[in-house]
Structure 1
Amino acid sequence: MSNFNVKKVAVLGAGVMGAQIAAHCVNAKVPVVLFDLPGKEGTPKNGIVLKAIENLKKLSPAPFGDKADAELIQVANYEDNLDLLAGCDLIIEAIAERMDWKHDLYKKVAPHIAQNAIFASNTSGLSINKLAEGFDDELKARFCGVHFFNPPRYMHLVELIPTTSTKPEILDQLETFMTSTLGKGVVRAKDTPNFIANRVGVFGILAIIHEAEKFGLSVDVVDDLTGAKLGRAKSGTFRTADVVGLDTMGHVIKTMEDNLPNDPFAALYKTPAVLSGLVAKGALGQKSGAGFYKKVGKDIMRLDAATGEYVAGGKKADDIIARILKEKDPVKKMKALRDSTNPQGQFLWAIFRDAFHYIAIHLESIADNARDIDFAMRWGFGWNVGPFETWQAAGWGQVAQWVKEDIEAGKALCNAPLPAWVFEGKVGEQGVHTPDGSFSPATKSYTPRSDLAVYKRQEFRAPVVGGGGADPKTAGVTVHEDESVRLWHTGDDVLILSLKTKMHVIGKGVIGGIQRGLAEAEKNFKGLVIWNTDAAEGGAFSAGADLQEALPAFMAGGAKAVDPIIKELQDTFMSMKYSNVPVVAAVAGIALGGGCEMALHASKRVAALESYIGLVEVGVGLIPGGGGLKEAAVRAAREAKGNDILQFLKTGFTNAATANVSKSALEAKAMGYLKEDDIIVFNAYELLHVAKTTARAMADAGYRAPIQRPVPVTGRYGWGTIRGQLVNMRDGGFISAHDYKLGDMIAEIVSGGDIDQGSVVSEQWLLDMERKAFLELLNHPKSQERIMGMLQTGKPVRN
């Protein structure tokens, strides 16, 4: 396939979605022009777009990986700048959901679209074929739907929707760009109202509202039942609707009502009375301050549907139901809900039954195969397990029988029977997912995974229950495995170290594993990659040192007994830094404290965009003790190149003293936790491939261990300067006396201590200072309060 390189993107429409899509393109270093209407007379011509970019900087969660990149969005309006479209390879329209407005805009822009550019609409549910009406054949062939989910930076799903005329290679090119450059999970949908995720998801919300009324459950109880306990977004159902906006919800429901009059479930596609009542009052959810919930002072009140008033919220699931939901065996869990006499149990069985009934009936018309529905719900709605996967795991045949009985008994939402394929052949025996692929009713066969070249970059693709595929926990050849680590390889000269501890914390076992991995890699491999098997599924790189493990040693022998543990950690990280083979840290998720220090001591870092890196030890009343401060001093000295080191030390000092954590890998670069030449990967499923390729390239280029250099430091001049600022902060009441002590200790270490400015020290000198300060703090009652607070509540104590 010829290379399709997106050199520039245009986004039409600077509303909430358009502006955020533009921001995410900039995150990925893709130049972008953001268009909107020209400002009214007497206002700046590009005022609408400029205002939208200002708003992006305030949004939370942040659309930009690094706010400073906001200036990279090129601003434009439809009156003066249509000529800019000629230089764009991809044009994404993201204006309001009105067919007539979209058509007017298309007439205006079509003459300016380049010959080979792809034109796409980010509509969330309008017909893509109808949108393409009026295009010439040439443009029709390059037009499709590309539906991002909100917020576009964080939601993994993008739905691609072709028209009857879209050229297949257009979709392949777009899927490749979305997957690798923007880091998305792509699902191809058919051109039906609301496509896949919103169609199934909105039906699910309507079914939940219907069943909740039937079983008399309040919104807070429903949210507790349908949130994290079901492995779905922790905001549950009604809270999620408030966040999305009740007017938006109403709009999506109306699309179904208007366009699906003959659907067996059509009776359900009406805006529920409770929802239209709220919208009529202007209670649109979070954006208007009230919806199903309302914040009054510090209290969250819930809507009482019967009276329309807000009452105290916070009610939870009944204990007996919470216990059923903890059951690990999906077969037992589903049976217990089906057999339950508790209204909450009956409600949960009902919403599962409704979902299974719906997806079985609609699979053929909305998706190519069952896998696409599962991925759409996982990636677009934040479910841990998709609906077909849930059904199959709970025992396909038995559940199908139960659903059939409920339909026949008139308990289901409609009387349409389950399609025959549910009970026939291989599907009837085992379900819709097999190692050969996932069931497609249209072809009566199992559709294999896409074989686009971009997926060769994903050594372990997103799995589906029953879908086979290699499990990264057991794949490849194991060199060594214990309860803390696994050392393994896939036959390509790179050794992989995967941590197995909870949150991948670093204790004795992990330290031993790193030492063993280094020895093994130096003897038999080209490099070592530190990569965790849950990196693409939101796991941690490492939450830091295992405080719990060091506690017994401390209790028995005080700080002295912890000294050898810290020394070994420091020595192990130093042997990583000065290893004879390249060590690549494949970072994704949180890398805090010791986890951050482990990454800092690798030869190179390959980080997923969503990497949250920082030295957070002051939160537990300690200072970084594994070489984090030493690295801040070393890096400042390198960057200063003979200039005043103190200017370059400020960032490293401030980050550690305030426990500042990057909100993305891009920000981690700006903070100095990632170096300029470290690599940022947008699709976490590609992390292992890029890390291994990087290690091999470094080895092939003749990698040698760096030579240890002496470190010039600022000495008492730097220490005194920083201390002066800390005194002001303490005396002004901005920090506590103990915060001052911690800050002062950090300042002493990064400046090399009570020695002359311009003195030169070794890395070991700085490590010894770190260790001494760390052990002194372990004995300090205020630090002990912070440590115990964190171990008991998981929250930092301010003292």
Structure 2
Amino acid sequence: MDLQPLRIRKAAVLGAGVMGAQIAAHLVNADVDTVLFDLAAKEGPKNGIAQRAIANLAKLSPAPLAERTRGAAIVPADYDEHLDLLKDCDLVIEAIAERMDWKLDLYRRIAPHLPAHAIVASNTSGLSINTLAEAVPEAIRHRFCGVHFFNPPRYMHLVELIPNRLTDRAVLEGLEAFLTTTLGKGVVYAKDTPNFIGNRIGVFSILATMHHTERFGLGFDVVDALTGPAIGRPKSATYRTADVVGLDTMAHVIKTMADTLPDDPWHGYFKSPAWLQALIDQGALGQKSGAGFYRKAGKDIVVLDLAKRDYRPSAQKASDEVAAILAIKDPAGKFAKLRASADREAQFLWAVFRDLFHYTAYHLADIADTARDVDFAIRWGYGWKLGPFETWQAAGWRQVAGWIAEDIAAGKAMSRAPLPAWVTDGREGVHDRDGSFAPRSGKLEARSRHPVYRRQLFPDPLLGERFDTGTTIWENDGIRLWHLGDDIAITSFKTKMNTVNDAVLDGLQRAVEEAERGCKALVLWQTGEPFSAGADLKGAMGLLQAGKLAEFEAMIANFQATSMKLKYALVPVVAAIRGMALGGGCEFQMHSARTVAALESYIGLVEAGVGLLPAGGGLKEIALRCSRAAPDGDPFPQIKRWFETVAMAKVSGSALEAKQMGLLRDSDVVVFNGHELLYVAKQVAAAMAESGYRPPLPARDIVVAGDVGAASLKMMLVNMLEGRFVSPHDYEVASRIADTLCGGQIERGSQVDEAWLLDLERKHFVQLAQMPKTQERIVHTLATGKPLRN
């Protein structure tokens, strides 16, 4: 029998600071009834502190709320008046300041109001969970643990789950399932050691980077050029990240390591460099104070130059030699050249990696059960493409281990602590298809058998892991059609950014035919993000520039035919989307029988941005939806709302917002964990097939707003043109969008069929595509990735 699920109907978050308020926001994103507590305000309503924190959520970027109005669902509360609201909470998450005495006092205060079944968790980033548990009444200790979210909680995949000595296994497994499926997180179990796994290793990496920045005399901007995307880490790299986090917060975390890890062999480095402390003393705390390692000077970004004690223009560029080394594809060759190079930037990078590998290996047994937990904690919590152990293994485990040992012996490493014996026991790494190294057993341990992970048909893979990629039914250059041993076909694109070209269009039509022949459903799912960045503009532009207008128009007609083939397939077609679903990608999901979307799906008809209009059936589908949704037979009020969305190329900030915008239907399904997307999509497709699915009847009675509706929309555009809010070409594009949405120059209230609207789409698209200003926009976007206003 499977594990009994943990049912969480209502939750409370204690502490309305940055983390507490955003955790509450993500709970209501997931439809969890949530109360947000803070201290009683000295003036105004007693729950005013929580009220202000909730109001502030709508102003934050990136947005903690997946849909702006959800903040109203959070109940503001204070500890003086509202503790009785805890009596029916299933989960209580404490997220107040990192002061042990404050936390212990709060636990004693809330204990009498907690129901017997409530789970109590602390969001502490590093305080001892066992010490905190001692302040909780004995009856609650088996339901108490650490649940450490990373900032910002909606977007960061990692949650560290830290049991105390008495935490019930069933409580932990129930929370693991809730965090994974309901909140969409990646759960890593951490031992109760200071800073747990993510911050223990992540903050050490920053400390090592700071130490070697000073040692090699490098500029902060140069270090950011070296420690960002060039080595598979976020664009904010090291010092920009520190500015975002706050230099005072960084110093506090470093001090916590110094205070709580006195026996760590690297303890001597657990202190803020003098220049970091000097910035803090001057009030330069990073982004929140307007200056830190970087600051804005007009439109430019300037960086602190320690030698000049002033800011200078930021170059953020690696040396030519190091740039060439970092471009090497083979990790082993790359690391060999870094270590051998006399370039100080190369020496800096080798030193940073060496000390990170050394520290991580030395402390693995203290902080985590397996090497897998460490790599996932760093990837999910810090946004690295590979964790430290994966990076080491990719570079050649034995070779790198030998170099580290040599540097330790030569006194070049930050610590003389020896590498653990298991590092040099003849192994080639810590991960392979059988599992990851576990220091307690000295063996490789497989992934968790928790039932929740059966929902992840393709979990986030570690280096060396391989998953069954299914059996191919048919493929061409554009798509692969395959299955996982059942009668649900899956199709995945092969193009860059999953863009749509002729091979994809022909492939999708063939996929529908194959599915109709031998399967009960078809799922559109990509092996990675995005779902689709839309049409292949480069290929389309090539046809236009070669003067092949007939071929260009045939491609657009084929696009429309593909959308219609998806819509009228005799088996249910389910689009499973995550990441961007733009332009043609959005149109394909609009024509599918159902969409299953990961929460972090950014959906939009964005063609207006390149001087075009949606012509894969998107405008036709909107006109149809507006007609069906018109209670009095007049679709214009619906069209007016849609017109702005399309003409301004708006993109949803989440799947929930896409529902509000109408880009997803009310019946479409939102999944919080992207790794569960394919599983849920297959379940939805199977259920539709089992219920006797039939495609919709052809729509021949679409009521349109006609020439009067189009004229009304164009009047709005004239005002915007005269006010210089739009350019003449923007006006041209938007006018044609208006004409298509309203069914063209026919009488208001006329009824048309889908072919009529598709013809309008295609006519306007082809005419716009021939205009010089549209072609300028396309060329500019292809060259820069940014829109052109001309």
Q: TM-score, normalised by structure 2?
A: 0.98
Deviation at 1:78, TM superposition (A): 0.6
1:653 corresponds to: 643
2:494 corresponds to: 500
* Stretches of structure 1 lacking an aligned partner (at least 5 in a row): none
The letter for the 1-side match of 2:527 is T
* Residue 519 of structure 2 corresponds to residue 525 of structure 1: yes
Separation in 2 of the partners of 1:493 and 1:641? 40
What is the root-mean-square deviation of aligned Cα atoms in Å? 1.1
Deviation at 1:795, TM superposition (A): 1.5
Q: 1:97-496 residue pairs with structure 2 within 5 A?
A: 97-424=98-425, 428-466=426-464, 468-470=465-467, 475-496=469-490
Equivalent residues of 2:296, 2:302 under 8 A apart: yes
* Residue 28 of structure 2 corresponds to residue 26 of structure 1: yes
Separation in 2 of the partners of 1:513 and 1:327? 35
Q: Greater CA deviation, 92-101 or 551-560?
A: 551-560
2:611 corresponds to: 621
- Residue by residue over 1:685-708, the C-alpha shift from the partner in whole angstroms, topping out at 9 and shown as x without a partner, is 000000111111000000011101
The letter for the 1-side match of 2:214 is E
Deviation at 1:290, TM superposition (A): 0.7
**SS state at 1:610 partner:** strand
The letter for the 2-side match of 1:438 is S
Deviation at 1:319, TM superposition (A): 1.6
Separation in 1 of the partners of 2:189 and 2:427? 27
Separation in 1 of the partners of 2:385 and 2:703? 51
**SS state at 1:58 partner:** coil
Q: Greater CA deviation, 301-310 or 81-90?
A: 301-310
* Residue 566 of structure 2 corresponds to residue 576 of structure 1: yes
- Residue by residue over 1:181-233, the C-alpha shift from the partner in whole angstroms, topping out at 9 and shown as x without a partner, is 00000000001110001000100000001111111110000000000000001
Deviation at 1:458, TM superposition (A): 0.2
- Residue by residue over 1:710-730, the C-alpha shift from the partner in whole angstroms, topping out at 9 and shown as x without a partner, is 201111121111111111111
- Residue by residue over 1:390-433, the C-alpha shift from the partner in whole angstroms, topping out at 9 and shown as x without a partner, is 11111111111100000000000011110111112xxx222111
Identity of aligned residues (%): 57
Separation in 2 of the partners of 1:396 and 1:662? 44
Q: Greater CA deviation, 606-615 or 649-658?
A: 649-658
Equivalent residues of 1:559, 1:778 under 8 A apart: no
Deviation at 1:558, TM superposition (A): 4.6
Equivalent residues of 1:558, 1:779 under 8 A apart: no
Q: TM-score, normalised by structure 1?
A: 0.97
Equivalent residues of 1:212, 1:347 under 8 A apart: yes
Match of 1:779 among 770, 778, 786: 770
2:41 corresponds to: 39
Separation in 2 of the partners of 1:553 and 1:735? 29
* Stretches of structure 2 lacking an aligned partner (at least 5 in a row): none
Equivalent residues of 2:50, 2:77 under 8 A apart: yes
Deviation at 1:762, TM superposition (A): 0.4
Separation in 1 of the partners of 2:432 and 2:565? 45
Separation in 2 of the partners of 1:125 and 1:648? 51
Q: Greater CA deviation, 315-324 or 668-677?
A: 315-324
Separation in 1 of the partners of 2:770 and 2:402? 64
Deviation at 1:135, TM superposition (A): 2.2
Equivalent residues of 1:8, 1:87 under 8 A apart: yes
Q: 1:53-68 residue pairs with structure 2 within 5 A?
A: 53-68=54-69
1:542 corresponds to: 532
1:749 corresponds to: 740
Separation in 2 of the partners of 1:511 and 1:170? 49
Separation in 1 of the partners of 2:350 and 2:546? 52
Q: Greater CA deviation, 127-136 or 50-59?
A: 127-136
**SS state at 1:495 partner:** strand
**SS state at 1:770 partner:** helix
The letter for the 2-side match of 1:741 is E
Deviation at 1:62, TM superposition (A): 0.5
Deviation at 1:643, TM superposition (A): 4.0
Separation in 2 of the partners of 1:338 and 1:200? 22
Equivalent residues of 1:559, 1:776 under 8 A apart: no
**SS state at 2:530 partner:** coil
The letter for the 2-side match of 1:430 is E
Deviation at 1:112, TM superposition (A): 0.9
1:603 corresponds to: 593
Separation in 2 of the partners of 1:279 and 1:733? 45
* Residue 670 of structure 2 corresponds to residue 668 of structure 1: no
**SS state at 1:662 partner:** coil
Separation in 2 of the partners of 1:184 and 1:793? 34
Q: How many residues align?
A: 787
**SS state at 2:58 partner:** helix
Equivalent residues of 2:634, 2:749 under 8 A apart: no
Equivalent residues of 2:530, 2:580 under 8 A apart: yes
1:736 corresponds to: 727
- Residue by residue over 1:524-569, the C-alpha shift from the partner in whole angstroms, topping out at 9 and shown as x without a partner, is 00110000001xxxx2110111111123322333533311111111
- Residue by residue over 1:51-85, the C-alpha shift from the partner in whole angstroms, topping out at 9 and shown as x without a partner, is 11111100000001110111111111111111111
Deviation at 1:271, TM superposition (A): 1.5
**SS state at 2:380 partner:** helix
Q: Greater CA deviation, 354-363 or 428-437?
A: 428-437
2:89 corresponds to: 88
Moved over 6 A (4+): none
